[in-house]
């Protein structure tokens, strides 16, 4: 993309309404624009990152054997009356009446809808296990929408639902979700720690929230500092291997890590004092096994091998796709702007032409652009007639991991400058070597 043809409305001033750095930077970098309280338009740059995050979530869910689909945002109230949640949900649910006087709602989540799809189409244990998921907009009329996309009213969520014959099978699905979430967040350059969470009225030990540690997080968390050393990394995983998935769960959940809702001082005291930490965290996902709550209420049963009708065991598993943009920026920025992890960056490499209109510089930039594109990468070429300082400031603000700077002086010696946004380090290389280095970085992801 050439910047002169793109739509990147960066702001010079720091917007007064934004209280936290990720919100400020998303507004300044022209990624989002508020449409009304807690509701945002995704401008081209923000939309690109949103799509990259979605793509990672899709790939990792499908790697785990989970099946993508799409359910609508608007739902009929009748299904929610069946589960009993129409009245329970309270004011967070946006209720709508259509022209025929039918009660509708903008879905805050989809357990009812998916359970209805399941019961209408699946009758036998032979069709299990089954995990369906979608990535769709949700609406929750939050009392205090704030922090930009972190606590929006309309937000994008991946929500997946497993249907299994037995509790053990459902717990394997739970473990698959845990593993696939660890992989997803790591690909986004994030450390998200699974922490024991509150199962609400249903209770039980089978729910974990994934938290990114950040001062601006809304959750209070307590953990054993050893847990921050854990990495899933690039190890192989067979999602059908029950024992293997279980061992990952044990590895990542055996140390103390809880949100304030489940925090227990007595148990925490058993962690050596030097390793006890309390901090703030951003919830970027949650996995939850809830047994037969919805299947019993809504009659989602299958015939088992003994010909009995049994309610299926279910769980639901969410990732805050749009919130993740804020969380990633909270975890990765400096005073100049965003520092995108390579896995989610909107463009792979910036090209800055120090002297637009100079024949040699223009030709070199075009050649770099062509070479990066041919290698399957998306460069962003700042081809505007602007001062170098302004171009650098924009590139630093929008946070592309790599920048190639091209000027007539360097070209005389056959070199361009390759700069890492993260370390700030620059090196002079031939254009070919600069391209090769950037290409190799992304190939390694």
Binding site for Mg ion (CB under 5 A): 286
Closer to ligand ATP at the Cβ: 109 or 180? Answer: 109
- 140 interface partner picked from ligand ATP, Mg ion, none, CB below 5 to 8 A per type: ligand ATP
Minimum CB distance to ligand ATP, residue 49 (Å) = 15
Q: Is the peptide bond prior to 129 cis by the omega test (within 30 degrees of 0)? A: yes
Given a contact cutoff of 8 angstroms between Cβ atoms, the answer to whether 128 and 121 are in contact is no
Q: Where are the beta strands (DSSP E) in 14-126?
A: 32-36, 39-42, 67-68, 74-76, 94-97, 103-106
- 142 interface partner picked from ligand ATP, Mg ion, none, CB below 5 to 8 A per type: ligand ATP
Residues 91, 95, 97, CA angle at the centre, nearest 5°? 155
Minimum CB distance to Mg ion, residue 318 (Å) = 7
**Dihedral angle, C-alpha 209, 132, 185, 288, nearest 10 °:** 10
Closer to ligand ATP at the Cβ: 285 or 337? Answer: 285
Minimum CB distance to ligand ATP, residue 15 (Å) = 19
Q: What are phi and psi of 161, to 5 degrees?
A: -135, 125
Residue 391 gets which letter from DSSP?
Answer: H
Residue 428 to residue 419: CA distance in whole angstroms = 9
Residues in the chain: 445
- 64 interface partner picked from ligand ATP, Mg ion, none, CB below 5 to 8 A per type: none
Minimum CB distance to ligand ATP, residue 239 (Å) = 22
Closer to ligand ATP at the Cβ: 318 or 401? Answer: 318
Strands 313-320 and 154-164: antiparallel
Residue 394 to residue 391: CA distance in whole angstroms = 5
Residue with the two structure tokens 């009929």: 76
Residue 192 to residue 184: CA distance in whole angstroms = 10
Which residues sit at the interface with ligand ATP, rule CB under 6 A? 109, 140, 142, 151-152, 155, 157, 283-286, 318, 320, 322-323
CB-based closest residue to Mg ion: 286
CB-based closest residue to ligand ATP: 320
Closer to ligand ATP at the Cβ: 125 or 139? Answer: 139
Closer to ligand ATP at the Cβ: 284 or 361? Answer: 284
- 176 interface partner picked from Mg ion, ligand ATP, none, CB below 5 to 8 A per type: none
Closer to ligand ATP at the Cβ: 138 or 391? Answer: 138
- 155 interface partner picked from ligand ATP, Mg ion, none, CB below 5 to 8 A per type: ligand ATP
- 157 interface partner picked from ligand ATP, Mg ion, none, CB below 5 to 8 A per type: ligand ATP
Closer to ligand ATP at the Cβ: 108 or 407? Answer: 108
Given a contact cutoff of 8 angstroms between Cβ atoms, the answer to whether 319 and 181 are in contact is yes
Minimum CB distance to ligand ATP, residue 321 (Å) = 8
Minimum CB distance to Mg ion, residue 209 (Å) = 6
Residue 88 to residue 77: CA distance in whole angstroms = 12
Minimum CB distance to Mg ion, residue 99 (Å) = 35
Closer to Mg ion at the Cβ: 118 or 288? Answer: 288
Q: Which two tokens stand for residue 271?
A: 């962690």
Q: How far is CA 135 from CA 70, 171, 345, 377, 430, in A?
A: 7, 23, 20, 25, 43
Given a contact cutoff of 8 angstroms between Cβ atoms, the answer to whether 381 and 3 are in contact is yes
- 407 interface partner picked from ligand ATP, Mg ion, none, CB below 5 to 8 A per type: none
């Amino acid at each position: 993309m050439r910047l002169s043809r793109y739509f990147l409305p960066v702001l010079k001033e720091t917007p007064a309404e934004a209280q936290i750095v990720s919100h400020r930077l998303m507004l300044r970098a022209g990624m989002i624009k508020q449409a009304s309280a807690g509701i945002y338009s995704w401008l081209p740059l923000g939309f690109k990152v949103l799509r990259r995050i979605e793509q990672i979530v899709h790939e990792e869910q499908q790697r785990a054997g989970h099946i993508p689909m799409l359910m609508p945002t608007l739902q009929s109230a009748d299904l929610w009356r069946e589960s009993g949640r129409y009245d329970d949900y309270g004011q967070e649910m946006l209720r709508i009446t259509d022209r025929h006087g039918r009660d509708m709602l903008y879905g805050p989540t989809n357990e009812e809808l998916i359970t209805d799809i399941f019961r209408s189409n699946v009758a036998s244990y032979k069709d299990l296990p089954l995990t369906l998921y979608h990535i769709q907009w949700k609406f929750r009329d939050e009392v205090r929408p704030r922090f930009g996309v972190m606590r929006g009213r309309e937000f994008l969520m991946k929500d997946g639902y497993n249907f299994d014959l037995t509790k053990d099978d459902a717990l394997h699905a739970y473990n698959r979700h845990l593993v696939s979430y660890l992989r997803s967040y790591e690909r986004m350059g994030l450390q998200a720690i699974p922490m024991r969470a509150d199962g609400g009225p249903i209770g039980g030990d089978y729910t974990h929230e994934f938290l990114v540690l950040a001062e601006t997080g809304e959750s209070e968390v307590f953990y054993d500092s050893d847990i921050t050393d854990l990495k899933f990394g690039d190890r192989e995983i067979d999602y059908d291997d029950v024992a293997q998935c279980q061992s990952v769960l044990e590895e990542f959940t055996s140390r103390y890590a809880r949100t304030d809702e489940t925090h227990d001082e007595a148990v925490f005291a058993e962690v050596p004092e030097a390793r006890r930490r309390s901090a703030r965290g951003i919830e970027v996902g949650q996995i939850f096994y809830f047994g037969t709550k919805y299947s019993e209420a809504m009659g989602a049963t299958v015939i088992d091998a003994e010909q009995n009708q049994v309610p299926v065991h279910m769980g639901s598993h969410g990732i805050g796709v749009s919130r993740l943009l804020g969380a990633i920026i909270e975890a990765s920025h400096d005073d100049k702007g965003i520092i995108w992890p390579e896995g989610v960056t909107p463009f792979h490499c910036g090209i800055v032409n120090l002297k637009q209109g100079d024949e040699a510089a223009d030709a070199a930039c075009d050649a770099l652009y062509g070479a990066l594109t041919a290698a399957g990468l998306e460069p962003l070429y700042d081809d505007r007639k602007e001062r170098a300082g302004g171009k650098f400031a924009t590139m630093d603000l929008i946070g592309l991991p790599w920048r190639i700077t091209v000027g007539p002086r360097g070209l005389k010696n056959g070199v361009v400058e390759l700069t890492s946004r993260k370390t700030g380090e620059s090196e002079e290389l031939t254009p070919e070597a600069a391209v090769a280095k950037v290409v190799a970085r992304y190939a390694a992801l």
